[in-house]
Amino acid sequence: MTADLSSPLRFEGLARLDDQEIEQAAAIMESIWPDYVDLFRREMAVYRDHQDLFEPFFGVAKKEEAVVGFSLLMASMMSTTLLVITWVAVRPDHHSHGIGRQLIDLCLAEAKRRGKAVVLTTTMPEFYTKIGFKLLDHYPSDEPSRFPGPEEGKSFLLIRA
């Protein structure tokens, strides 16, 4: 992949991706998270087949029809009042040009249109706190969980690493 930072960028918010867009996004994922590119492709197929359930919104940055940045906003499986942002990635040769921030802004505008707050999990909180996100120590929802825990109606986030 070679950088051409001179040609104009275009940002699109899409409900569906075509095969070429998925493959171009997968190439970015492969350059950043090679172990997860198969998972990415599988997830994209699931979201396409179950659009009504996941309500995906793809933020895409394009340069001369090539995808150079990607973000996904979708329904939370934990809460009907929240949305989730995931798979945020910018082609490495295009980092630090404001693309990541604009991809998130696109998702946040869509979340606002839907009237819902956004949560995400990340290994890179510094990027998100820089662009206005706040760290949480618990899941921000008072609604009854779809997966009731020991305390009925409360959600718990657990990890086993």
User: Please, which of residues 31-50 interact with ligand COA by CB under 6 A?
Assistant: 32
Judged by CB under 6 A, the residue of 51, 80, 81, 122 near ligand COA is 122
Stretch in the footprint of ligand COA (CB under 6 A) among 12-20, 47-55, 97-105, 138-146: 97-105
The whole-angstrom separation of Cα 105 and Cα 51 is: 22
The closest alpha carbon to 90, from 135, 159, 155, 25, belongs to: 25
Minimum gap (Å) between residue 133 Cβ and ligand COA: 11
Minimum gap (Å) between residue 160 Cβ and ligand COA: 20
Contact 143, 81 (CB under 8 A): yes
The whole-angstrom separation of Cα 139 and Cα 84 is: 12
Judged by CB under 6 A, the residue of 41, 48, 62, 101 near ligand COA is 101
Q: For the chain, what is the radius of gyration of the CA atoms?
A: 16
Number of residues that bind ligand COA (CB under 6 A): 17
